Amino acid sequence: SRRISFSMDSRSSATVLLFARYAELVGAEQVQVRVAPGSDVRDVLQGLRAGHPGAAELPDAPLCAVNHRQARLDDAVRPGDVVAFLPPLAGG
């Protein structure tokens, strides 16, 4: 039911989605993080921490996804991408 909205700076930033406990820690379900050329998911996590103190409690290597597919921390991120950080899965 969450709607993914894009801010004005989507040409220079990635949308970061946060779920469950991570959304509580950060205090938001969605934020924008600037991505420089050559960025990867780890850089986006660093950018998230820089702008959101609550993100300090995220683990160094959380599960992550880029554009709705599971990803690794060294996968590339380009402006306009949707990056997600995922707490330990608990489905089923």
Partner 1 sequence: MRLLTQDPLDLAALIADVASPERGGTCAFLGAVRDHHADRAVLELEYSAYGPMAEAAMADIVAETERRWPVRVAVAHRLGRLAVGDAAVAVAAAGAHRDEAFAACRHVIEELKRRVPIWKRERYADGTEAWVDPTAAGAAR
* Interacting residues with partner 1 (CB under 8 A): 1-2, 17, 19-21, 63, 65, 68-70, 84, 86-92
Give the nearer residue to partner 1 in terms of CB position, either 2 or 8. 2
Tell me the closest approach of the beta carbon of residue 32 to partner 1, in angstroms: 18
Query: Closest separation between CB of residue 40 and partner 1, Å?
Result: 19
Phi-psi region of 55 (alpha: psi -120 to 50; beta: other; left: phi over 0): alpha
Rounded Cα distance, 33 and 56, in Å: 15
Distance CA 70, CA 90 (A): 16
Nearer to partner 1, 5 or 8 (CB): 5
- Residues pairing with 32 in the sheet: 15
| Cβ at position 92, least distance to partner 1 in Å | 4
